[in-house]
Amino acid sequence: MSPDYTLYVCTDRDLMISATVAESVEKAILGGAGVIQLREKEVPGRVFYETALEVKAVTSRYGVPLIINDRVDIAMAVGAEGVHVGQEDMPCTAVRKLVGKDCLIGVSASSVAEAVQAEKDGADYLGVGAMNPTATKTDAGIVTIDELKAIRSAVSIPIVIIGGINRKTIPLYKGLGIDGIAVVSAVVAAPDVTEAAKELRKEWLS
């Protein structure tokens, strides 16, 4: 499954307007989300696992890759297409030993050094940010556009940007060789999830 990183949607049960995470995901996919990341920071492992099973049923139906945030064990247990890790999580090299060569591994990076190391360690793509202040990750440092350009020049793997990405900020990042936008609240908290996803994807590609 070759991912379409154009619109990469991360879940957030606290922000979503949908009744369930699986419903939120389906609406986002109908709007053009090409990758779904299941992000569950506050729930017990069993709830995360059960939610992942429900979401995987939806993503599989539409042929969209499911990435599990942080939890390599849950990614493997539900047969997700990938796992995303941050700088404080299990290192990419260790994740690769567990998941094998066919599983996608994304790594969060906010500097050239982190990006280069992630590519060297076998990451399939980078999540670079936070590009702007964002309520979903209040402890994240801001990555400047100059740093983003330097990261793009330093690595060859796909890059998705995250952190306060919405219709107002998208134009700042066009033409920089970035592969896609990762969004949370701009889609899952929108009154019409499907329409919001469609508009963001169209804005990015226009």
Q: The domain that contains 194 carries what CATH number?
A: 3.20.20.70
Residue 55 within a domain: yes
CA-to-CA dists, residue 35 to 8, 145, 175, 182, 191, angstroms: 5, 24, 21, 9, 21
Report field, pTM of the whole predicted structure over 0.75: yes
Determine which one of 18, 60, 96, 137 is catalytic. Answer: 137
Q: Which domain holds residue 70?
A: 7-205
Position 139 scores a pLDDT of: 66
User: Does 39 participate in catalysis according to the annotation?
Assistant: yes
Q: What are the residues whose beta carbons fall under 8 Å from the beta carbon of 25, sequence distance 6 or more?
A: 9, 11, 33, 36, 38, 55, 58, 59
Residue 169 within a domain: yes
Report the C-alpha gap between 84 and 92 in whole angstroms. Answer: 9
Residue 170 within a domain: yes
Position 42 scores a pLDDT of: 93
What are the backbone dihedrals phi and psi of residue 152, each rounded to the nearest 5 degrees, phi first?
Answer: -60, -40
Position 135 scores a pLDDT of: 72
Residue 2 within a domain: no
User: Does 61 participate in catalysis according to the annotation?
Assistant: no
User: Does 46 participate in catalysis according to the annotation?
Assistant: no
Determine which one of 39, 71, 198, 201 is catalytic. Answer: 39
Position 5 scores a pLDDT of: 98
Position 2 scores a pLDDT of: 78
Residue 133 within a domain: yes
Q: What is the mean pLDDT of each run of 10 residues along the chain (206 residues)?
A: 92 97 98 98 96 98 98 98 97 97 97 98 97 75 95 98 96 97 98 98 97
Position 193 scores a pLDDT of: 98
Position 33 scores a pLDDT of: 98
Nearest to 6 by CA among 158, 134, 192, 120: 158
Number of domains in the chain: 1
Max Cα separation, the chain? 42
Position 133 scores a pLDDT of: 84
Determine which one of 24, 71, 108, 110 is catalytic. Answer: 108
Number of H helices, E strands in the chain: 8, 8
